Amino acid sequence: MKKLCTCIVPCFNEEEVIPIYYEAMQKIIKEEEDKLSFELLFIDDGSSDRTLDVLKGLSKNDPCVHYISFSRNFGKEAGLYAGLEHAKGDYIVTMDVDLQDPPEMIPEMIRCIEEEGYDSVATRRVTRKGEPIIRSFFARKFYHIINKISDADIVDGARDFRMMKRNMVDAILSMKEYNRFTKGIFGWVGFKTKWLEFENVERAAGETKWSFWKLFRYAMEGIIAFSTVPLTIVSVIGVLVCIAAFLFFIFVLVRAAMFGDPVAGWPSLICVISFLSGMQLLGIGLVGMYLSKTYLETKKRPIYIAKEIHE
């Protein structure tokens, strides 16, 4: 009996590109039909366009097409988790619908898993051609920072596009946390992984839903989810500021005893007060971010709510 490969494809307002993606995948399915059976599992993440209608049309004409439609937009992380929960395959592929994750790489992924014994085959972009320079700069810095301060192994340029065996997917599903950062989870669970490199590919149609602000929030969630180093840094800075404040206090006392003139130091006093106030607000803000994540976890809310499921 042939093994089954499930392709998980999150979608948010992607009515234009879904048919293009479907046609591209048909070529891969035909090439590999002697080795594997395929199912395409689309996750409609609360789209406001005709995404769900397009998916319903495909599922009527092709029994290999399935979909899950959310009650509202829960985000890509929830979409990936829902796909992993409902995937029936022996091999599971997570990928974007916009064809920035080239389907042509899937046969090589299959070969690496079946012939070389890997548990997972992941992909990374070696170029960021077509991206804004500032966005590319901050992306590279994010990967550098998070690998320095956390236990998660996140490769620079890593995509969510990867193929995994069932045992790795089961390990990922065992992590029930509400605040999910899938790139970090992939690295944290371990397993033998091979990396395939490719150059950046432009979207086949439509526009990206990831603004700079959304990417920044996503990066902050990743850092908070996999590292407590920011709290340590704030604590260390607090100690250093206290030492500096004590030394400044000694300096003020000595200068007043020797020269008098107590009014002359008011500009420096204002600077010190402003600096300390800023540090306090920064520390409170960081603690608040960690506390908010803990608060959301304790609520035990579902990661997503499915309005309609077609399997």
pLDDT tens across 179-207, in order? 777 777 887 787 888 888 877 665 545 56
Mean pLDDT (whole number) for 237-254: 70
Map tokens 């803000």 to a residue. Answer: 285
Confidence band of 263 (pLDDT split at 50, 70, 90): low
Q: How far apart are CA 66 and CA 81, in angstroms?
A: 16
pLDDT exceeds 80 at position 298: no
Confidence band of 41 (pLDDT split at 50, 70, 90): very high
Higher pLDDT, 245 or 303: 303
Map tokens 């206290």 to a residue. Answer: 242
**Out of 28-37, 118-127, 286-295, least confident range:** 286-295
Domain spans, the chain = 3-209+302-310, 229-299
Q: How far apart are CA 109 and CA 164, in angstroms?
A: 9
CA-nearest of 125, 185, 191 to 151 is: 185
How many residues would you count in the chain?
A: 311
Q: 3-209+302-310 has which CATH code?
A: 3.90.550.10
Give phi and psi for 73, each to the nearest 5. -80, 110
pLDDT exceeds 80 at position 171: yes
* Under 8 Å between Cβ of 124 and 158: yes
Q: How far apart are CA 106 and CA 97, in angstroms?
A: 14
Cross-sheet strand order for the sheet of 3-11: 193-198, 120-125, 158-165, 91-94, 3-11, 36-44, 65-70, 306-310
* Under 8 Å between Cβ of 83 and 94: yes
Mean pLDDT (whole number) for 100-128: 85
Higher pLDDT, 271 or 124: 124
Residue 43: C-alpha distances to residues 27, 64, 74, 163 (Å): 21, 14, 11, 17
Whether pTM exceeds 0.75: no
